[in-house]
Amino acid sequence: MKPIWAPWRMEYILGKKPGGCIFCDKPKGEDEPNHILFRGDISFIMMNIYPYNNGHIMVAPYKHSSCLTDLDRDTLIELILLTQKGVELLRETLNPDGFNTGINIGRVAGAGFEDHVHIHIVPRWDGDTSYMSIISETRVIPEHLNVTYQKLLPFFRKIGNCLAK
């Protein structure tokens, strides 16, 4: 087994957290400054501003809920459909070699926002966990968050009909 080191996350983990819930607050604002890529009827897709990798996005319901078990069937369906579409569009735009997708439920499971369940989609490329993280506690994100947002936005705006029943 190979260990994966992520020391750059410690700044976020130990740092002061903004008040409120980003998954409740950000959808109340404008899309671009909040890095929202798509708004569905029940859930939405936004970029992670503390990404593990370039193109790291999150899918979240509008409903403030800490666990999947609290969500109704329609919400669960839309979350998974948007996750599927997110993988498809990231594959099309960024051409990663693979993906990590996951849900962290509870603080001890790694949830940065433990009171609002969300799904992470992290594009992965061969060799994307280089020595920089281990030696200098530095993570190399090769493209600015806003540049990636502008690159992804036109593709995510086309989602619409994938959610039709």
Measured CA to CA in angstroms, residue 106 lies from 17, 41, 58, 99 at distances of: 16, 26, 16, 22
Set 35, 56, 116, 118: catalytic member: 118
**Helix, strand, coil share of the chain (percent; to 5):** 40, 15, 45
Angle at 113 between CA 29 and CA 24, to 5 degrees: 25
| 3-state secondary structure at position 30 | coil
pTM of the model: 0.78
Helix axes 145-156, 73-94, angle to 10 degrees: 110
Per-residue pLDDT of the chain (165 residues; tens, 9 = 90+): 555 555 555 665 666 666 789 999 999 999 999 999 999 999 999 999 888 888 999 999 999 999 999 999 999 999 999 999 999 999 999 999 999 999 988 888 777 778 899 999 999 988 776 444 444 444 555 567 788 888 888 888 888 666 655
* Rounded-to-integer distance, Cα 68 and Cα 39, Å: 19
Main-chain phi, psi angles of 43, to 5 degrees: -150, 175
Domains of the chain: 21-160 (3.30.428.10)
Measured CA to CA in angstroms, residue 57 lies from 1, 69, 83, 105, 132 at distances of: 27, 22, 9, 17, 23
Active-site annotation holds for 118: yes
